[in-house]
Structure 1
Amino acid sequence: MTNTGEGGARARGTWWREGAIAATAFAFCLLGGALQVDDKAISAPPAAAYLIAVVSCAVLPVRHRAPLAAMAATTAAGMLVPPLDLLLSPPIVAPAVIVAYTLAVRTERRAASAVLLASAVLLVVSNLVFSFGSLSWQDASRIAAVAAFPLVAGILGHSTQNRRAYLAAVEERALRAEKSRDSEARRRVAEERLRIARELHDLVAHQITLANAQATVAAHLFDTRPEQTRKSLRELVETTGDALDELRATVGLLRHTGDAAAPAEPAPGLSRLPTLLESFRRAGLEVSVHQEGTARPLPPGVDLTAYRIVQEALTNVTKHAGTNSARVRLDWSRDRVTITVADDGGDAHTASAATLPDRPPGYGLIGMRERATAVGGRLSAGRRPEGGFLVSTELPLPPAKDRTHANEGPLTGGEAL
């Protein structure tokens, strides 16, 4: 809804300002009409001076809407000054000066310059025609001042126009920068949410899967092998404790409002692969590892990605494959490392959705692909022709000369566990 009170106050302010400008220009015109040559005293303005003042000032209110027409009218009024036996002086062309400033502000530079120059020439020529033969140095200086005043007003108008254009450009750039910052902030928030979702998925899926496997073993052996049941329960306690610790650390980072000085412990990487495999072995999954080539240190992001992909792939084997064995292979080449996780569990990876129709689709494979793509790698997953499931990913390696920059590397090449 339009605020009529504010609009009315603005309109009244505009009318007061325009009225003050017109009254000032009218007073200057009458003062110029009262001026005579130097050897005569100032007398009351003649009727011709009032005529020039009224005609010149009457067009001032329309100078904003029609600056060219207003400039033509004030110039014509100035050209009538010598024929009416008045002295052409700077005060009497005050309306033309005001219109010249408005014209320069509101019109393109070249057009405004041409109009103002033509106006100055016409004022000078009209005065020279009627004072030809009796022109003194004082008259020449007065005529030069009359011609210069509109030109100076035009220069000031051009300066104002440039300043307004500069301020508008600055404001536009500020608005674009603000929109860009907002878009960048939204993009960063979306990326951070996706990263946190992947971390929480990998953490919860891995630990809960192990806990479920250990609880299943304990329930199955509860009556027949109580010692093995107690061992499985102890491992279950350790697994759930580790899950709570990692979950608490992750949530603590999310709740932290300041800048963290340093993480409590380094992000997991391939150097922690033996510990990861041992947790799966405690859950009943036998995992063998084989490496080819010379192992090299990985950048932190690639190292974490490699660890999480192995963790998620083995978690899927534990949940879906229906087998108690899996194989992990790392092939190191000059510019990349290829990691494969395979099992012989048939098609349970894809059949699990059919056997459990109420379970929503998981995000394990999606998360692994996103992780690989984020560090410049690629991942493929699918059933093996000979049976089972295979996850394979290729991750880029830094140049060999950068290997001294890493503090801790993965397992040594050729090692089999």
Structure 2
Amino acid sequence: MHARVPRPFDVALATAVGVVSCVGSVAASRHQPGAQPLDAAAFVLLAVGPVALLWRRSAPVTVLAVTVAAALAYLLLGYGEGPVFLSLLVAFLTAAPTTRRWPMYALPAVGYVVFVWGVPWVTGRAVPPAAAMVGLAAWLLTLLAVAELIRQRREAARARRQRALAAARSAEEERLRRATEERLDIARELHDVLAHSLSMINVQSGVALELLESRPEQAGIALASIKTASRDALLEVHSMLRTLRRGGADLAPLTPAPTVADLDALVERARTAGIRVQTTSTGAAQPLPAAVDLAAARIVQEALTNVARHSGQTAARVSVRYLPGALELEVDDDGTGDGGDAGPRGAGIAGMTERAHALGGTLSAGPRSPQGFRVHARLPLTGTDVGGGGPT
């Protein structure tokens, strides 16, 4: 048996069983003619079972074997029958629900044969009458039913705990998944805002440096564009951080979210950077879901950023097509660049692709014939709420 401190309940139970066993056996021995008078050995055997019950939780099968041996020895020595089986019953109800059914449930049948016929045969006592045998068999069947009921209740409680643990794990996994998605959304927003603005600032600063001496008035226009672009970028980043810090989806953004409903305003920053952007819109314009509108605007901005960075071209075409149940976008240029992503990790096209896929749409980006680069996106309009663009 494991050396474990017994619980207070087990101590109280063992004490009660020991008192009942000793007192009951003393009374029973006085009313059974021919029974061996109780001596020190009898009280030791009567105490073995209750003491063993102190470890019934840590070693149930061992405790059951000890109580069986103590009860069998008590009867084989000829002492009078009494509540010597009480410790055995408690040990059985503890061990049976926690071990395999058939070996454990076969034990009462074996015990029935041993105590009804085996013990009388060894001690020379008379076999119990038929009525006593039937009554004992009924008690053993009741004991088996109680043990099975305890087993079923424990299994049900274990199943409930497992379901609760599985639900907790599922909730934690869902929380982590949502947190990951939120981090990706934040990363995409920061990339789109900063990359677009910084690219335009980079282009305009190059223009300003080239024209500073020869055409100072044009350099001044470029510097003014740089100031506007940097101010707008700061406002957008501040708006995003303000919303994140306060957790306020209800907070009004400091700057309006970009929208494809006003293409000229959407591409204005690219135009001020010196890119000639031609815009076309076909199909019946309709209110777009907020997520679709924001994703479409960010895709257009990122595609124009790539034009400024990589194509070596100062002209681009942006086309928006309203289709039944979908919105299609195309951004073309005639440059010689590869449209590659900015930055060492290439987050531009990857970010546009993630935005499209997050809405169940598609995005392709690559060279077109005979030269140039094309970004094409198709965003479904179903399954999302319709409304204005969300906050940046």
Q: Which amino acid aligns with 2:179?
A: V
Q: Report if the CA contact (8 A) 1:124-1:147 is conserved.
A: no
Whole-angstrom distance in 2 between the partners of 1:300 and 1:54 = 83
Whole-angstrom distance in 1 between the partners of 2:213 and 2:188 = 39
TM superposition shift of 1:59: 6.2
Whole-angstrom distance in 2 between the partners of 1:213 and 1:18 = 82
**Residue 388 of structure 2 corresponds to residue 396 of structure 1:** no
Whole-angstrom distance in 1 between the partners of 2:21 and 2:309 = 97
Q: Which residue of 1 aligns with 2:326?
A: 336
Q: Report if the CA contact (8 A) 2:117-2:127 is conserved.
A: no
**Percentage of matched positions with identical amino acids:** 34
Aligned mate of 1:99, from 75, 86, 91: 91
Show CA shifts across 1:303-338 (max 9, x none).
Answer: 211111111001111122222210112234334332
TM superposition shift of 1:301: 1.6
The more displaced of 55-64 and 295-304 is 55-64
Counterpart mapping for 1:304-323 below 5 A:
304-323=294-313
Q: Report if the CA contact (8 A) 2:260-2:266 is conserved.
A: no
Counterpart mapping for 1:221-300 below 5 A:
221-256=211-246, 258-264=247-253, 267-300=257-290
**Residue 60 of structure 2 corresponds to residue 64 of structure 1:** yes
Q: Which runs of 5+ in 1 are unaligned?
A: 1-9, 354-358, 410-417
| Aligned partner of residue 330 in structure 1, secondary structure | strand
* CA pair 375-21 structure 1, distance change in 2 beyond 3 A: closer
Show CA shifts across 1:111-156 (max 9, x none).
Answer: 43442355356545679995679x7xxx968x88766766666555
Whole-angstrom distance in 1 between the partners of 2:18 and 2:291 = 78
Q: Which amino acid aligns with 2:177?
A: R
RMSD value over aligned CA atoms? 4.1
Aligned mate of 2:182, from 188, 192, 198: 192
Q: Which amino acid aligns with 2:69?
A: A
TM superposition shift of 1:386: 1.2
Whole-angstrom distance in 2 between the partners of 1:396 and 1:16 = 66
| Aligned partner of residue 94 in structure 2, secondary structure | helix
Q: Which residue of 2 aligns with 1:213?
A: 203
Q: Report if the CA contact (8 A) 2:361-2:380 is conserved.
A: yes
TM superposition shift of 1:229: 3.1
Q: Report if the CA contact (8 A) 1:71-1:100 is conserved.
A: no
* CA pair 71-386 structure 1, distance change in 2 beyond 3 A: same
Whole-angstrom distance in 1 between the partners of 2:357 and 2:306 = 20
**Residue 344 of structure 2 corresponds to residue 360 of structure 1:** yes
Q: Which residue of 1 aligns with 2:357?
A: 373
TM-score normalised by length of structure 1: 0.73
Show CA shifts across 1:26-67 (max 9, x none).
Answer: 554443443359xx7799x94467655545654673973436
* CA pair 377-260 structure 1, distance change in 2 beyond 3 A: closer
Q: Which amino acid aligns with 1:297?
A: P
TM superposition shift of 1:98: 3.0
Q: Which amino acid aligns with 2:377?
A: T
Q: Which residue of 2 aligns with 1:356?
A: none
| Aligned partner of residue 235 in structure 1, secondary structure | helix
TM superposition shift of 1:260: 3.2
* CA pair 65-210 structure 1, distance change in 2 beyond 3 A: same
The more displaced of 209-218 and 171-180 is 171-180
TM superposition shift of 1:77: 4.7
TM superposition shift of 1:367: 0.8
Q: Which residue of 1 aligns with 2:107?
A: 115
Q: Which residue of 1 aligns with 2:171?
A: 181
Q: Which runs of 5+ in 2 are unaligned?
A: none
Whole-angstrom distance in 2 between the partners of 1:340 and 1:384 = 12
TM superposition shift of 1:13: 3.0
| Aligned partner of residue 5 in structure 2, secondary structure | helix
